[in-house]
Amino acid sequence: MITKTAEHTVIGTRPPRADAFEKVVGKAVFGPDVNLPRMAYGRILRSPHAHARIVRIDPTRAEALDGVYAVATAADLPEAADRTERVGEGNVNYKYMRDNTFAGDKVLYHGHPIAAVAARTLQIAEQALELIDVEYELLDPVLDVRQAMAADAPLLHEGMHTRSLAGTADTPSNVASQFQFLQGDPEQGFAQADVVVERAFETAMVHQGYIEPHAATAAWDADGTLTVYTTTQGAFDIRSQVHELLGYPLSKIIVVPTEVGGAFGGKNVGYVEVPAAVLARKSGRPVRVVMTREEVFLASGPSSGTWMRVKMGATREGRITAAEVELCYEAGAYPGSPVGAGANCILAGYDIPNARLDGYDVVVNKPRVGAYRAPGATQSTFAGEAVIDELAEKLGLDPVEFRLRNIATNGMPRLNGGFHEHIAAREVMEAVRDHPHYNAPLERGTGILRRGRGVGLAYWGNWGARSSVTLEVNADGTVSMLMGSVDITGTRTSIAMQAAETLGLSLAHINPAMGNTQTSGYSDASGGSRTTMATGVAAVKAAEEVIAKMHERAAAIWVCEPEQVAYTNIGPDAGTFTCSRNDETMTFAEVAAKLGGTGGALRGQGDVNVRRWGGAFGANIADVEVDIETGSVRLLRFTAVQNVGKAIRPGQVEGQLRGGATQGIGWGLYEGYAYDGQGHMLNANFLDYKLPTALDVPAIETEILEIPWPEHPFGVRGVGETPIVGPPAAIANAVYDAIGVRQGFLPMTPARILESMGII
């Protein structure tokens, strides 16, 4: 019914974001800004030990302190189901989630929550934490993923047995699960190779580093309705978690998402919502719990530290013959690392006839990992792209040329069992080959400053899933838009743009808003780079329903058949209805003005579950300067190329490319959790866990390719995650190019670089 040609009038433009004004005047309400009458302040008591049995918890002295309203522990939560469900971008077992909300019989990491206090002031709450008596029996911690896999390692969960396709192992282990991908005959493939490269890699645990800490405010109505205001990527996911952990009906829980001050995957799982809800119930007051920065580092959901091994072979002609990959990912205290996604993304851009990949999900005494922007892919890509680079070098081939000789194309089987469709990996690599940056001469440098250039090819699979958009037509011809997806990156604008384009109205006609779990249709979390894509599908569907219903209203006004009414959503007459019976025209607004007399409210509803979506390839080019005396690395120039399908609002797409690159630069050069031998985190602050600053990041050139995903009305693919995947790999390859030594660690701190050179 609605045909929209390529001549878009809204899509592809750069209007101000719908939330622009409230963001620059500082009026946007973020999680910690929520403030309710009579509100109490909640704080959480955390384990000072990495691994210990809890002998006793006695809150009596805390409860007696003047100004303390309530103390909560695991005893306040019902037993939770031993069931695993998808939450945002990862899986969560509710029994483990309960233990990670308030520790049961054991604490499993430094910062593990034990109890929570609500008090009249924050200071009283903090004082009360010190009055909760906890007796521990210390156990040996296990912090390193390979150490944890050893047969004699201390066990985190005595009852945990490794699961695999072969079944469940007899002896308990810290390896929660393992899997294998097999393609062709790897032994034969290596026998055909003229050159073989094998290397091991390690990466440190890293944090999303959102500047807004986790914050939730819970309040119970007299009728038993619980409202939770929280900073989250998925209001409905948080509602499910609260429902499971409190054993309370979904219909009586309302989750209201606030503005989100950065999430990057880390705000799918709730940490403070359930404690706030329990404290609010016990105290009879609204309770706000806001994490400190230290708590965010210690006890939210960072990304896995890893140990990886990659072996690859190629012929003299530059064809890859075989690969063998081992991925060992830290899950933290409970199973659920992103090793599966790491396995799906490593070497995804190449045609590899023979390959074997073994993946291990391993528990260690660190916080339970969460999703972090392309979960698991950045680590594995760092390893895969380093070996690809080294193969090219051994074969005397330009690294981009070698990649192009082996690039994956449509229909090729993938290591994980699937097939690539509309992948456009070649176009991305060719864009690198032809990019002015790649062809610019690089002054090599002599003396202590050495320069190098590196590239990395990156892939992320993206996501579809459930989204809901409601468009309500108002009497003045404007449209109120409500979306169930949380806007974490400006998506209320990119969704409204797709609605406007479909409706043939200007963007100014649409006022978009985020709903909550009471007002919106079910929507999955804003993660997996799915929102502009899948919620866009919902918006287009809602807009089409609006137009179809408006046809009926126009027909009622004209007293004709709806089939005699046509609507134009394109060109100079966009936004007008015409009647073939009487040749009259009416604008969208004129029909809207008569809604009352033609049947009442008019609403278009788009509820979708998008089951097919397109992955996104991207690539990076990095120029670095390495000071071989200090080991410090400076970025001279950086380029991000990505196929985005269709850039709905290019400014936002560029922002995602730059933002992902900036975080990737952090992973590459600065960021990593540090622990002492007892499992105490040593750098739970922004001084010692260094994020890139304005001084560390060069301009970051972006090149956007638009090779559409054909099943989206406008061709959109997910954008936000692929940008972080390639930068550490590109930087590591550039460092090699500069100093001639391969890098096996992330982050590549000055000390690591000097160590790799044999200087320290």
Query: What whole-number distance in Å separates Cα of residue 688 and Cα of residue 754?
Result: 20
Distance in Å, CB of 719 to ligand FES, minimum:
16
**Contact positions with other proteins (CB under 8 A) in 623-682:** 651-652, 654-655, 658-663
> What does the block give as tokens for 544?
């089409």
Q: Does residue number 508 form part of the binding site for other proteins (CB under 8 A)?
A: no
Q: Does residue number 211 form part of the binding site for ligand FES (CB under 6 A)?
A: yes
Cis bond before residue 436 (omega within 30° of 0): no
Distance in Å, CB of 148 to other proteins, minimum:
30
Q: Does residue number 250 form part of the binding site for ligand FES (CB under 6 A)?
A: no
User: Which partner, ligand FES, other proteins, none, binds residue 33 by CB below 5 to 8 Å per kind?
Assistant: other proteins
Using DSSP, how many helices (H) and how many strands (E) does the chain show?
A: 21, 31
The count of other CB atoms within 10 Å of the CB of residue 56 is 8
Q: Does residue number 758 form part of the binding site for other proteins (CB under 8 A)?
A: no
Nearer to other proteins, 262 or 750 (CB): 262
User: Which partner, other proteins, ligand FES, none, binds residue 29 by CB below 5 to 8 Å per kind?
Assistant: other proteins
Nearer to ligand FES, 100 or 663 (CB): 663
**Contact positions with other proteins (CB under 8 A) in 34-53:** 35
Distance in Å, CB of 214 to other proteins, minimum:
12
The count of other CB atoms within 10 Å of the CB of residue 5 is 7
DSSP secondary structure letter of residue 563: G
Largest CA distance in the chain: 88
Query: What whole-number distance in Å separates Cα of residue 90 and Cα of residue 116?
Result: 26
Left, alpha or beta for 645 (phi > 0: left; psi -120 to 50: alpha)? Answer: left
- Residue from 467, 489, 529, 532 touching other proteins (CB under 8 A): that is 489
Considering only 103-111, 460-468, 696-704, 706-714, which stretch makes contact with other proteins by CB under 8 A?
Answer: 696-704
**Who contacts 664 (Cβ-Cβ below 8 Å, separation ≥6)?**
378, 620, 723, 724, 725, 726, 727, 728, 731
User: Which partner, ligand FES, other proteins, none, binds residue 180 by CB below 5 to 8 Å per kind?
Assistant: none
> What does the block give as tokens for 726?
């390639």
- Residue from 15, 48, 172, 262 touching ligand FES (CB under 6 A): that is 262
Nearer to ligand FES, 27 or 146 (CB): 27
**Who contacts 559 (Cβ-Cβ below 8 Å, separation ≥6)?**
none
> What does the block give as tokens for 751?
């000390």
Residue count, binding to ligand FES (CB under 6 A): 2
Q: Smallest Cα–Cα separation from 503: which of 165, 10, 51, 64? A: 10
Distance in Å, CB of 498 to ligand FES, minimum:
23
Burial label for 184, CB within 10 Å (0-12, 13-18, 19+), is middle
Helix (H, G, I), strand (E, B) or coil at 710: coil
Residue count, binding to other proteins (CB under 8 A): 57
Instruction: Write the single-letter amino acid at 753.
Output: I
Q: Smallest Cα–Cα separation from 660: which of 529, 526, 749? A: 529
**Contact positions with other proteins (CB under 8 A) in 109-148:** 123
**Interface map 5-24 toward other proteins (x if CB under 8 A):** ---------x-xx-xxx-xx
User: Which partner, ligand FES, other proteins, none, binds residue 521 by CB below 5 to 8 Å per kind?
Assistant: none
Query: What whole-number distance in Å separates Cα of residue 382 and Cα of residue 667?
Result: 10
Distance in Å, CB of 725 to ligand FES, minimum:
20
Concatenated DSSP letters for 716-749? ----SSHHHHSHHHHHHHHHHHHHS----EES--
Distance from the first to the final alpha carbon of the chain: 70
Q: In what order do the strands lie in the sheet with 603-610?
A: 510-514, 479-483, 465-473, 603-610
Q: Does residue number 26 form part of the binding site for other proteins (CB under 8 A)?
A: yes
**Who contacts 723 (Cβ-Cβ below 8 Å, separation ≥6)?**
458, 618, 640, 642, 656, 657, 658, 659, 660, 661, 664
Distance of CA 514 to the CA centre of its chain: 19
Q: Smallest Cα–Cα separation from 457: which of 349, 375, 351, 372? A: 349
Considering only 176-184, 362-370, 485-493, 610-618, which stretch makes contact with other proteins by CB under 8 A?
Answer: 485-493
Nearer to other proteins, 290 or 386 (CB): 290
Distance in Å, CB of 267 to other proteins, minimum:
11
Nearer to ligand FES, 511 or 685 (CB): 685
**Contact positions with other proteins (CB under 8 A) in 277-316:** 290, 292-293
Distance in Å, CB of 327 to other proteins, minimum:
27
> What does the block give as tokens for 449?
């400053």
**Contact positions with other proteins (CB under 8 A) in 188-227:** 208-213
**Interface map 306-345 toward ligand FES (x if CB under 6 A):** ----------------------------------------
- Residue from 344, 693, 704, 705 touching other proteins (CB under 8 A): that is 693
User: Which partner, ligand FES, other proteins, none, binds residue 451 by CB below 5 to 8 Å per kind?
Assistant: none
The C-alpha angle with vertex 218 and arms to 215 and 220, in degrees rounded to 5, equals 175
Nearer to ligand FES, 264 or 350 (CB): 264
Nearer to other proteins, 184 or 651 (CB): 651
Nearer to ligand FES, 262 or 650 (CB): 262
Q: Which residues bind other proteins (CB under 8 A)?
A: 14, 16-17, 19-21, 23-30, 32-33, 35, 123, 208-213, 259-264, 290, 292-293, 488-490, 651-652, 654-655, 658-663, 685-687, 691-695, 697, 699-700
Q: Which residues bind ligand FES (CB under 6 A)?
A: 211, 262
